[in-house]
Structure 1
Amino acid sequence: MGDDWTAPLPVRRVRRSTDATLTANQWPATLAPVAHVLGQGLDLAQATIVVGENGTGKSTFVEAVAVAYGLAPEGGSTGALHATRPTESSLSQSISLERGAGASRWGYFLRAETMHGLFTYLEDNPSRRPEPRFHELSHGESFLAMLNSDRFTGEGFFVMDEPEAGLSFHAQLALLGALIQLVAIPGVQVLIATHSPVVASLPGALILEFDEDGIHERAWDDLDVVDHHRRFLEAPERYLRHLRY
Protein backbone atom coordinates (compact mmCIF):
# COMPACT_ATOMS: atom_id res chain seq x y z
CA MET A 1 0.00 0.00 0.00
CA GLY A 2 0.87 3.66 -0.01
CA ASP A 3 2.91 5.63 -2.49
CA ASP A 4 3.33 3.24 -5.44
CA TRP A 5 2.57 5.70 -8.21
CA THR A 6 2.73 2.97 -10.85
CA ALA A 7 -0.45 1.41 -9.42
CA PRO A 8 -3.70 2.32 -11.19
CA LEU A 9 -5.41 4.07 -8.27
CA PRO A 10 -8.85 5.52 -8.98
CA VAL A 11 -7.91 8.91 -7.45
CA ARG A 12 -4.29 10.02 -7.30
CA ARG A 13 -4.74 13.69 -6.49
CA VAL A 14 -7.41 16.19 -5.48
CA ARG A 15 -6.96 19.77 -6.63
CA ARG A 16 -8.85 22.96 -7.43
CA SER A 17 -10.69 22.71 -10.72
CA THR A 18 -10.02 25.21 -13.49
CA ASP A 19 -13.63 26.41 -13.39
CA ALA A 20 -13.91 26.59 -9.59
CA THR A 21 -16.22 29.32 -8.31
CA LEU A 22 -15.63 28.89 -4.57
CA THR A 23 -13.80 31.93 -3.19
CA ALA A 24 -11.49 32.12 -0.17
CA ASN A 25 -14.08 33.90 2.00
CA GLN A 26 -16.85 31.38 1.27
CA TRP A 27 -17.49 28.35 3.44
CA PRO A 28 -16.07 25.69 3.33
CA ALA A 29 -12.98 27.38 1.83
CA THR A 30 -12.70 29.28 5.12
CA LEU A 31 -11.62 26.00 6.72
CA ALA A 32 -7.83 25.71 6.66
CA PRO A 33 -7.73 22.10 5.36
CA VAL A 34 -10.13 22.94 2.52
CA ALA A 35 -8.07 26.03 1.69
CA HIS A 36 -5.01 23.75 1.62
CA VAL A 37 -6.64 21.42 -0.90
CA LEU A 38 -7.80 24.30 -3.10
CA GLY A 39 -4.46 26.08 -2.92
CA GLN A 40 -1.92 23.25 -2.99
CA GLY A 41 -3.83 20.12 -3.97
CA LEU A 42 -3.62 16.85 -2.05
CA ASP A 43 -2.22 13.45 -3.02
CA LEU A 44 -4.12 10.36 -1.92
CA ALA A 45 -2.58 6.96 -1.19
CA GLN A 46 -4.11 3.52 -1.64
CA ALA A 47 -5.44 3.94 1.88
CA THR A 48 -5.87 7.46 3.25
CA ILE A 49 -7.18 8.11 6.76
CA VAL A 50 -8.40 11.61 7.69
CA VAL A 51 -8.57 12.52 11.38
CA GLY A 52 -9.22 15.72 13.31
CA GLU A 53 -11.61 17.51 15.63
CA ASN A 54 -15.24 18.16 14.77
CA GLY A 55 -15.59 21.16 12.49
CA THR A 56 -12.18 20.89 10.84
CA GLY A 57 -13.63 19.76 7.50
CA LYS A 58 -13.05 15.99 7.50
CA SER A 59 -16.56 15.00 6.46
CA THR A 60 -16.87 17.98 4.13
CA PHE A 61 -13.70 16.89 2.33
CA VAL A 62 -14.48 13.18 1.96
CA GLU A 63 -18.06 13.98 0.92
CA ALA A 64 -16.82 16.38 -1.77
CA VAL A 65 -14.34 13.83 -3.12
CA ALA A 66 -17.05 11.16 -3.17
CA VAL A 67 -19.48 13.43 -5.05
CA ALA A 68 -16.79 14.61 -7.49
CA TYR A 69 -16.08 10.92 -8.20
CA GLY A 70 -19.73 10.41 -9.04
CA LEU A 71 -20.96 8.78 -5.84
CA ALA A 72 -24.29 9.58 -4.21
CA PRO A 73 -23.75 12.18 -1.44
CA GLU A 74 -25.95 10.25 1.03
CA GLY A 75 -24.23 6.96 0.30
CA GLY A 76 -24.24 4.43 -2.47
CA SER A 77 -22.43 3.61 -5.67
CA THR A 78 -21.67 5.49 -8.86
CA GLY A 79 -25.11 4.47 -10.13
CA ALA A 80 -27.15 5.17 -6.99
CA LEU A 81 -29.99 7.69 -7.15
CA HIS A 82 -30.62 7.76 -3.40
CA ALA A 83 -31.28 11.27 -2.09
CA THR A 84 -33.51 12.82 0.55
CA ARG A 85 -32.57 16.36 1.52
CA PRO A 86 -29.50 17.92 -0.17
CA THR A 87 -27.13 19.17 2.53
CA GLU A 88 -23.75 18.71 0.87
CA SER A 89 -21.42 21.67 0.41
CA SER A 90 -20.51 23.18 -2.95
CA LEU A 91 -16.90 22.00 -2.60
CA SER A 92 -17.36 19.10 -5.02
CA GLN A 93 -18.07 21.63 -7.79
CA SER A 94 -14.72 23.36 -7.23
CA ILE A 95 -12.38 20.37 -7.11
CA SER A 96 -11.01 18.09 -9.77
CA LEU A 97 -9.81 14.51 -9.35
CA GLU A 98 -6.73 13.21 -11.13
CA ARG A 99 -7.52 9.57 -11.90
CA GLY A 100 -5.07 6.77 -12.51
CA ALA A 101 -4.89 5.48 -16.07
CA GLY A 102 -6.68 2.16 -16.34
CA ALA A 103 -8.08 2.35 -12.80
CA SER A 104 -11.57 1.14 -11.95
CA ARG A 105 -14.44 3.63 -12.20
CA TRP A 106 -16.52 1.74 -9.63
CA GLY A 107 -16.91 3.11 -6.14
CA TYR A 108 -19.09 3.19 -3.05
CA PHE A 109 -19.72 5.78 -0.35
CA LEU A 110 -20.75 4.83 3.19
CA ARG A 111 -21.51 7.45 5.82
CA ALA A 112 -22.81 6.59 9.26
CA GLU A 113 -25.32 9.46 9.52
CA THR A 114 -27.26 8.52 6.37
CA MET A 115 -27.03 4.71 6.42
CA HIS A 116 -30.66 4.28 7.55
CA GLY A 117 -31.89 6.08 4.43
CA LEU A 118 -29.46 4.17 2.21
CA PHE A 119 -30.68 0.83 3.54
CA THR A 120 -34.29 1.86 2.94
CA TYR A 121 -33.37 2.78 -0.63
CA LEU A 122 -31.68 -0.59 -1.15
CA GLU A 123 -34.71 -2.45 0.18
CA ASP A 124 -37.07 -0.42 -2.02
CA ASN A 125 -34.83 -1.04 -5.05
CA PRO A 126 -33.65 -4.63 -4.59
CA SER A 127 -30.93 -6.08 -6.75
CA ARG A 128 -30.96 -9.54 -8.23
CA ARG A 129 -28.40 -10.75 -5.74
CA PRO A 130 -29.59 -11.96 -2.35
CA GLU A 131 -28.57 -9.72 0.52
CA PRO A 132 -29.42 -9.23 4.18
CA ARG A 133 -32.35 -7.22 5.49
CA PHE A 134 -30.14 -4.41 6.71
CA HIS A 135 -32.82 -2.81 8.90
CA GLU A 136 -33.16 -6.04 10.87
CA LEU A 137 -29.50 -5.90 11.87
CA SER A 138 -27.79 -3.73 14.45
CA HIS A 139 -25.83 -0.76 13.17
CA GLY A 140 -22.54 -2.59 13.53
CA GLU A 141 -23.87 -5.78 11.97
CA SER A 142 -25.35 -3.90 9.01
CA PHE A 143 -22.15 -1.96 8.38
CA LEU A 144 -20.03 -5.12 8.43
CA ALA A 145 -22.58 -6.91 6.25
CA MET A 146 -22.27 -4.14 3.69
CA LEU A 147 -18.47 -4.33 3.75
CA ASN A 148 -18.66 -8.09 3.28
CA SER A 149 -21.10 -7.83 0.37
CA ASP A 150 -20.01 -8.14 -3.25
CA ARG A 151 -20.10 -4.35 -3.55
CA PHE A 152 -16.73 -4.40 -1.79
CA THR A 153 -15.07 -7.42 -3.40
CA GLY A 154 -13.49 -5.90 -6.50
CA GLU A 155 -11.49 -2.93 -7.69
CA GLY A 156 -12.79 0.53 -6.93
CA PHE A 157 -12.74 3.66 -4.81
CA PHE A 158 -14.39 3.23 -1.41
CA VAL A 159 -15.13 6.30 0.70
CA MET A 160 -16.30 6.10 4.32
CA ASP A 161 -17.31 8.85 6.71
CA GLU A 162 -16.97 7.91 10.40
CA PRO A 163 -17.68 4.19 9.87
CA GLU A 164 -16.99 3.53 13.56
CA ALA A 165 -20.07 5.47 14.72
CA GLY A 166 -22.18 3.28 16.97
CA LEU A 167 -19.68 0.41 16.95
CA SER A 168 -18.35 -1.26 20.09
CA PHE A 169 -14.62 -1.76 20.51
CA HIS A 170 -14.85 -5.36 19.28
CA ALA A 171 -17.00 -4.28 16.34
CA GLN A 172 -14.38 -1.65 15.45
CA LEU A 173 -11.77 -4.40 15.46
CA ALA A 174 -13.97 -6.41 13.11
CA LEU A 175 -14.31 -3.32 10.90
CA LEU A 176 -10.54 -2.91 10.89
CA GLY A 177 -10.14 -6.55 9.86
CA ALA A 178 -12.59 -6.02 6.98
CA LEU A 179 -10.66 -2.93 5.87
CA ILE A 180 -7.37 -4.83 5.94
CA GLN A 181 -8.89 -7.48 3.67
CA LEU A 182 -10.38 -4.81 1.40
CA VAL A 183 -7.14 -2.91 0.78
CA ALA A 184 -5.34 -6.18 0.06
CA ILE A 185 -7.32 -6.39 -3.19
CA PRO A 186 -5.31 -5.00 -6.14
CA GLY A 187 -6.92 -1.88 -7.57
CA VAL A 188 -8.78 -0.98 -4.38
CA GLN A 189 -8.42 2.48 -2.85
CA VAL A 190 -10.04 3.73 0.36
CA LEU A 191 -10.55 7.20 1.81
CA ILE A 192 -11.85 7.27 5.40
CA ALA A 193 -12.69 10.05 7.85
CA THR A 194 -12.65 8.82 11.43
CA HIS A 195 -12.39 9.71 15.12
CA SER A 196 -11.35 6.16 16.00
CA PRO A 197 -7.77 5.28 16.95
CA VAL A 198 -8.67 1.71 15.99
CA VAL A 199 -9.70 2.60 12.43
CA ALA A 200 -6.76 5.02 12.13
CA SER A 201 -4.36 2.14 12.83
CA LEU A 202 -5.04 0.58 9.41
CA PRO A 203 -1.60 -0.81 8.47
CA GLY A 204 0.22 1.11 5.76
CA ALA A 205 -2.34 3.91 5.54
CA LEU A 206 -1.43 7.53 4.91
CA ILE A 207 -2.78 9.45 7.94
CA LEU A 208 -3.72 13.09 7.44
CA GLU A 209 -4.67 15.24 10.42
CA PHE A 210 -6.96 18.20 9.74
CA ASP A 211 -6.73 21.16 12.11
CA GLU A 212 -7.03 24.94 12.18
CA ASP A 213 -3.62 25.26 10.50
CA GLY A 214 -4.30 22.96 7.55
CA ILE A 215 -3.39 19.36 6.74
CA HIS A 216 -0.50 17.45 8.29
CA GLU A 217 0.80 13.94 7.62
CA ARG A 218 1.12 12.11 10.92
CA ALA A 219 2.30 8.83 12.35
CA TRP A 220 -0.37 6.97 14.32
CA ASP A 221 1.56 7.39 17.60
CA ASP A 222 1.64 11.15 17.11
CA LEU A 223 -2.10 11.67 16.64
CA ASP A 224 -3.93 13.82 19.19
CA VAL A 225 -6.81 11.34 19.28
CA VAL A 226 -4.43 8.52 20.20
CA ASP A 227 -2.72 10.61 22.88
CA HIS A 228 -6.02 11.70 24.46
CA HIS A 229 -7.40 8.16 24.55
CA ARG A 230 -4.21 6.92 26.21
CA ARG A 231 -4.23 9.70 28.79
CA PHE A 232 -7.90 9.24 29.59
CA LEU A 233 -7.62 5.48 30.04
CA GLU A 234 -4.54 5.87 32.23
CA ALA A 235 -6.16 8.48 34.49
CA PRO A 236 -9.77 9.53 33.74
CA GLU A 237 -9.71 12.06 36.57
CA ARG A 238 -7.32 14.23 34.54
CA TYR A 239 -10.23 14.96 32.22
CA LEU A 240 -13.20 14.55 34.54
CA ARG A 241 -12.07 17.35 36.84
CA HIS A 242 -12.40 19.82 33.97
CA LEU A 243 -16.02 18.84 33.25
CA ARG A 244 -19.01 20.60 34.75
CA TYR A 245 -21.67 18.18 35.99
Structure 2
Amino acid sequence: MDFDQPPVVRVDAEQRLDPDAWPMTVPAVAQVVREGLVLPKGVTFLVGENGSGKSTLVEAIAVAFGLSPEGGTAQGRHSTRETESPLHTALRLQRGIGAPRWGFFLRAETMHGWYSFLENNPNPWARQPDSAYHEMSHGESFLEVLRTRFDSPGFYCLDEPEAALSFSSTLGLISVLDRVVSEGGQVLCATHSPVLAAMPGATILEVSDAGLHRTTWAELELVQHWRRYLDDPQRYLRHVLD
Protein backbone atom coordinates (compact mmCIF):
# COMPACT_ATOMS: atom_id res chain seq x y z
CA MET A 1 0.00 0.00 0.00
CA ASP A 2 1.32 3.43 -1.01
CA PHE A 3 1.56 5.70 2.02
CA ASP A 4 3.42 8.41 0.10
CA GLN A 5 0.29 10.07 -1.30
CA PRO A 6 -0.75 13.71 -1.69
CA PRO A 7 -3.61 15.16 0.39
CA VAL A 8 -6.04 14.71 -2.53
CA VAL A 9 -5.54 11.79 -4.89
CA ARG A 10 -8.71 11.99 -6.95
CA VAL A 11 -11.93 13.97 -7.29
CA ASP A 12 -15.19 12.19 -8.18
CA ALA A 13 -18.88 13.03 -8.14
CA GLU A 14 -21.01 10.98 -5.79
CA GLN A 15 -24.24 12.56 -6.97
CA ARG A 16 -25.47 14.23 -10.12
CA LEU A 17 -26.51 17.85 -10.53
CA ASP A 18 -29.09 19.22 -12.96
CA PRO A 19 -27.34 18.92 -16.36
CA ASP A 20 -29.22 21.94 -17.71
CA ALA A 21 -28.30 24.28 -14.85
CA TRP A 22 -25.08 26.08 -14.01
CA PRO A 23 -22.40 24.96 -13.29
CA MET A 24 -23.11 21.72 -15.19
CA THR A 25 -23.50 23.79 -18.36
CA VAL A 26 -19.76 24.50 -18.16
CA PRO A 27 -17.97 21.77 -20.19
CA ALA A 28 -15.01 21.40 -17.83
CA VAL A 29 -17.29 21.00 -14.81
CA ALA A 30 -19.46 18.45 -16.61
CA GLN A 31 -16.33 16.51 -17.58
CA VAL A 32 -15.06 16.31 -14.01
CA VAL A 33 -18.48 15.19 -12.75
CA ARG A 34 -18.68 12.59 -15.51
CA GLU A 35 -15.10 11.29 -15.54
CA GLY A 36 -13.51 12.42 -12.28
CA LEU A 37 -10.18 14.17 -11.94
CA VAL A 38 -6.83 12.78 -10.80
CA LEU A 39 -4.70 15.26 -8.87
CA PRO A 40 -1.00 14.34 -8.95
CA LYS A 41 1.60 15.26 -6.38
CA GLY A 42 3.08 18.72 -6.63
CA VAL A 43 1.47 21.67 -8.39
CA THR A 44 -1.47 21.51 -10.80
CA PHE A 45 -2.41 24.64 -12.75
CA LEU A 46 -5.83 25.16 -14.33
CA VAL A 47 -5.40 27.66 -17.16
CA GLY A 48 -8.19 29.08 -19.31
CA GLU A 49 -10.35 32.03 -20.28
CA ASN A 50 -12.82 33.76 -17.99
CA GLY A 51 -15.92 31.62 -17.68
CA SER A 52 -14.16 28.39 -18.61
CA GLY A 53 -14.78 26.89 -15.17
CA LYS A 54 -11.31 26.84 -13.66
CA SER A 55 -12.22 28.97 -10.62
CA THR A 56 -15.48 27.07 -10.15
CA LEU A 57 -13.53 23.81 -9.98
CA VAL A 58 -10.89 25.15 -7.57
CA GLU A 59 -13.59 26.59 -5.32
CA ALA A 60 -15.62 23.37 -5.26
CA ILE A 61 -12.61 21.17 -4.55
CA ALA A 62 -11.41 23.53 -1.80
CA VAL A 63 -14.83 23.51 -0.11
CA ALA A 64 -15.16 19.72 -0.52
CA PHE A 65 -11.80 19.44 1.28
CA GLY A 66 -13.29 21.43 4.14
CA LEU A 67 -11.86 24.89 3.50
CA SER A 68 -13.78 28.13 3.85
CA PRO A 69 -15.38 29.06 0.50
CA GLU A 70 -14.28 32.69 0.89
CA GLY A 71 -10.69 31.83 1.66
CA GLY A 72 -8.66 30.75 4.64
CA THR A 73 -8.57 27.45 6.50
CA ALA A 74 -11.14 24.97 7.72
CA GLN A 75 -10.92 26.43 11.23
CA GLY A 76 -11.64 30.05 10.36
CA ARG A 77 -14.92 30.04 8.45
CA HIS A 78 -16.54 33.31 7.46
CA SER A 79 -19.16 34.35 4.94
CA THR A 80 -20.13 37.76 3.60
CA ARG A 81 -22.45 36.59 0.81
CA GLU A 82 -22.98 33.01 -0.29
CA THR A 83 -22.05 32.86 -3.97
CA GLU A 84 -20.37 29.49 -4.37
CA SER A 85 -21.85 26.94 -6.75
CA PRO A 86 -23.51 23.74 -5.50
CA LEU A 87 -20.75 21.70 -7.13
CA HIS A 88 -18.94 20.99 -3.85
CA THR A 89 -22.01 19.16 -2.54
CA ALA A 90 -21.70 16.62 -5.35
CA LEU A 91 -17.98 15.97 -5.02
CA ARG A 92 -16.18 13.24 -3.11
CA LEU A 93 -12.45 13.49 -2.55
CA GLN A 94 -10.20 10.46 -2.32
CA ARG A 95 -7.67 11.57 0.28
CA GLY A 96 -4.13 10.31 0.45
CA ILE A 97 -3.36 7.71 3.10
CA GLY A 98 -1.37 9.37 5.86
CA ALA A 99 -1.36 12.71 4.03
CA PRO A 100 -1.68 16.04 5.89
CA ARG A 101 -5.20 17.37 6.59
CA TRP A 102 -4.13 21.01 6.77
CA GLY A 103 -5.19 23.26 3.94
CA PHE A 104 -5.54 26.87 2.87
CA PHE A 105 -7.64 28.56 0.18
CA LEU A 106 -6.21 31.80 -1.19
CA ARG A 107 -8.98 33.45 -3.18
CA ALA A 108 -8.04 36.82 -4.65
CA GLU A 109 -11.56 38.28 -4.85
CA THR A 110 -12.50 37.63 -1.21
CA MET A 111 -9.25 38.11 0.69
CA HIS A 112 -10.33 41.54 1.95
CA GLY A 113 -13.20 39.87 3.82
CA TRP A 114 -10.86 37.25 5.26
CA TYR A 115 -8.57 39.99 6.57
CA SER A 116 -11.55 41.57 8.34
CA PHE A 117 -12.55 38.19 9.77
CA LEU A 118 -9.08 37.72 11.27
CA GLU A 119 -9.11 41.24 12.66
CA ASN A 120 -12.48 40.70 14.35
CA ASN A 121 -11.73 37.15 15.53
CA PRO A 122 -8.15 37.04 16.86
CA ASN A 123 -6.83 33.62 17.75
CA PRO A 124 -6.02 33.62 21.51
CA TRP A 125 -3.78 30.56 21.09
CA ALA A 126 -1.69 31.93 18.23
CA ARG A 127 2.04 32.12 18.83
CA GLN A 128 1.96 35.63 17.43
CA PRO A 129 -0.88 37.97 16.43
CA ASP A 130 -2.01 38.12 12.82
CA SER A 131 -0.49 40.79 10.64
CA ALA A 132 -2.33 44.06 10.04
CA TYR A 133 -3.29 43.10 6.51
CA HIS A 134 -5.58 46.08 5.95
CA GLU A 135 -2.67 48.42 6.57
CA MET A 136 -0.70 46.87 3.70
CA SER A 137 -1.02 47.28 -0.04
CA HIS A 138 -2.91 44.56 -1.90
CA GLY A 139 0.31 42.94 -3.06
CA GLU A 140 2.07 43.27 0.29
CA SER A 141 -0.83 41.58 2.09
CA PHE A 142 -0.73 38.65 -0.34
CA LEU A 143 2.98 38.24 0.19
CA GLU A 144 2.45 38.30 3.96
CA VAL A 145 -0.21 35.57 3.66
CA LEU A 146 2.25 33.49 1.66
CA ARG A 147 4.91 34.00 4.33
CA THR A 148 2.70 33.18 7.32
CA ARG A 149 0.16 30.65 6.02
CA PHE A 150 2.08 28.63 3.43
CA ASP A 151 4.42 27.22 6.06
CA SER A 152 3.51 23.53 6.45
CA PRO A 153 2.61 20.50 4.36
CA GLY A 154 -1.02 20.44 3.26
CA PHE A 155 -3.47 21.09 0.44
CA TYR A 156 -3.25 24.62 -0.95
CA CYS A 157 -5.89 25.97 -3.32
CA LEU A 158 -5.27 29.29 -5.07
CA ASP A 159 -7.63 31.22 -7.32
CA GLU A 160 -5.77 33.67 -9.56
CA PRO A 161 -3.19 34.67 -6.93
CA GLU A 162 -1.26 36.69 -9.50
CA ALA A 163 -4.04 39.33 -9.43
CA ALA A 164 -2.24 41.25 -6.68
CA LEU A 165 1.35 40.43 -7.57
CA SER A 166 4.00 42.15 -9.66
CA PHE A 167 6.24 40.21 -12.00
CA SER A 168 8.96 39.78 -9.37
CA SER A 169 6.43 38.87 -6.68
CA THR A 170 4.94 36.22 -8.97
CA LEU A 171 8.40 34.71 -9.23
CA GLY A 172 8.51 34.78 -5.44
CA LEU A 173 5.21 32.88 -5.36
CA ILE A 174 6.77 30.17 -7.52
CA SER A 175 9.53 29.87 -4.93
CA VAL A 176 6.94 29.53 -2.15
CA LEU A 177 5.03 26.83 -4.05
CA ASP A 178 8.27 24.96 -4.72
CA ARG A 179 9.04 24.96 -1.00
CA VAL A 180 5.51 23.80 -0.13
CA VAL A 181 5.85 20.87 -2.53
CA SER A 182 9.33 19.95 -1.32
CA GLU A 183 7.89 19.71 2.21
CA GLY A 184 5.11 17.34 1.12
CA GLY A 185 2.35 19.77 0.21
CA GLN A 186 0.05 19.78 -2.81
CA VAL A 187 -1.19 22.77 -4.80
CA LEU A 188 -4.20 23.35 -7.06
CA CYS A 189 -4.16 26.77 -8.70
CA ALA A 190 -6.34 28.58 -11.25
CA THR A 191 -4.31 31.18 -13.10
CA HIS A 192 -4.10 33.51 -16.10
CA SER A 193 -0.36 34.03 -15.59
CA PRO A 194 2.08 32.58 -18.14
CA VAL A 195 4.81 33.39 -15.61
CA LEU A 196 3.25 31.25 -12.90
CA ALA A 197 2.28 28.45 -15.28
CA ALA A 198 5.92 28.10 -16.34
CA MET A 199 6.85 26.61 -12.96
CA PRO A 200 9.11 23.60 -13.60
CA GLY A 201 7.55 20.22 -12.88
CA ALA A 202 3.98 21.52 -12.67
CA THR A 203 1.02 19.73 -14.24
CA ILE A 204 -0.93 22.03 -16.57
CA LEU A 205 -4.59 21.46 -17.42
CA GLU A 206 -6.00 23.78 -20.07
CA VAL A 207 -9.67 24.57 -19.47
CA SER A 208 -11.83 25.52 -22.44
CA ASP A 209 -15.19 25.02 -24.15
CA ALA A 210 -13.97 21.53 -25.01
CA GLY A 211 -13.49 20.62 -21.33
CA LEU A 212 -10.05 20.21 -19.82
CA HIS A 213 -6.97 18.41 -21.06
CA ARG A 214 -3.36 18.10 -20.03
CA THR A 215 -0.91 20.18 -22.00
CA THR A 216 2.50 21.85 -21.83
CA TRP A 217 3.41 25.46 -21.15
CA ALA A 218 4.53 26.08 -24.75
CA GLU A 219 1.26 24.70 -26.11
CA LEU A 220 -0.99 26.87 -23.94
CA GLU A 221 -3.14 29.26 -25.97
CA LEU A 222 -2.45 31.84 -23.24
CA VAL A 223 1.31 31.64 -23.83
CA GLN A 224 0.94 31.84 -27.60
CA HIS A 225 -1.21 34.96 -27.33
CA TRP A 226 1.23 36.67 -24.97
CA ARG A 227 4.16 35.86 -27.23
CA ARG A 228 2.41 37.34 -30.27
CA TYR A 229 1.20 40.38 -28.32
CA LEU A 230 4.62 41.24 -26.89
CA ASP A 231 6.17 40.78 -30.33
CA ASP A 232 3.64 43.10 -31.99
CA PRO A 233 1.04 44.78 -29.70
CA GLN A 234 -0.64 46.59 -32.61
CA ARG A 235 -1.56 43.25 -34.12
CA TYR A 236 -4.10 42.93 -31.28
CA LEU A 237 -4.82 46.55 -30.39
CA ARG A 238 -5.99 47.56 -33.87
CA HIS A 239 -8.94 45.20 -33.39
CA VAL A 240 -10.10 46.83 -30.13
CA LEU A 241 -9.23 50.51 -30.70
CA ASP A 242 -10.64 52.87 -33.30
TM-score bracket relative to the smaller structure: over 0.9
Q: Tell me the CA shift for residue 219 of structure 1.
A: 0.4
State how far apart, in whole Å, the 2-side matches of 1:49 and 1:209 are.
8
TM-score, normalised to structure 2's length? 0.94
State whether residues 179 and 202 of structure 1, in contact with CA within 8 Å, keep that contact through their aligned partners in structure 2: no
Q: Tell me the CA shift for residue 130 of structure 1.
A: 3.0
State how far apart, in whole Å, the 1-side matches of 2:215 and 2:237 are.
28
- The one-letter code of the counterpart of 1:27 is W
Q: Give 1:7's aligned residue.
A: 4
- The one-letter code of the counterpart of 1:13 is R
1:99-118 aligned at under 5 Å gives the runs 99-118=95-114
State whether residues 180 and 203 of structure 1, in contact with CA within 8 Å, keep that contact through their aligned partners in structure 2: no
Unmatched tracts of structure 2, length 5 or more: none
1:62-101 aligned at under 5 Å gives the runs 62-101=58-97
Percent identical = 51
TM-score, normalised to structure 1's length? 0.93
State whether residues 150 and 176 of structure 2, in contact with CA within 8 Å, keep that contact through their aligned partners in structure 1: no
Q: Tell me the CA shift for residue 168 of structure 1.
A: 1.7
Q: C-alpha offsets along residues 150-192 of structure 1, whole Å, 9 cap, x if unaligned?
A: x321121000000000322122122222222222112x01100
State whether residues 66 and 73 of structure 1, in contact with CA within 8 Å, keep that contact through their aligned partners in structure 2: yes
State how far apart, in whole Å, the 2-side matches of 1:183 and 1:9 are.
10
Secondary structure of 1:164 counterpart: helix
Secondary structure of 1:93 counterpart: helix
State how far apart, in whole Å, the 1-side matches of 2:6 and 2:191 are.
22
Q: Give 1:22's aligned residue.
A: 17
Q: Give 2:202's aligned residue.
A: 205
1:27-46 aligned at under 5 Å gives the runs 27-46=22-41
Q: Tell me the CA shift for residue 53 of structure 1.
A: 0.4
State how far apart, in whole Å, the 1-side matches of 2:3 and 2:233 are.
47
Q: Give 2:178's aligned residue.
A: 180
State how far apart, in whole Å, the 2-side matches of 1:204 and 1:121 are.
35
State how far apart, in whole Å, the 2-side matches of 1:34 and 1:156 are.
24
Q: Give 1:226's aligned residue.
A: 223
Q: C-alpha offsets along residues 21-72 of structure 1, whole Å, 9 cap, x if unaligned?
A: 4022121111110111011111012211000000010110000000000000
Q: C-alpha offsets along residues 79-130 of structure 1, whole Å, 9 cap, x if unaligned?
A: 1221110000000011111111111111010100001000111111122223
Aligned length: 237
Alignment pair present for 1:119 and 2:118: no
State how far apart, in whole Å, the 1-side matches of 2:235 and 2:173 are.
30
Unmatched tracts of structure 1, length 5 or more: none
State how far apart, in whole Å, the 2-side matches of 1:81 and 1:23 are.
28
State how far apart, in whole Å, the 1-side matches of 2:113 and 2:70 are.
8
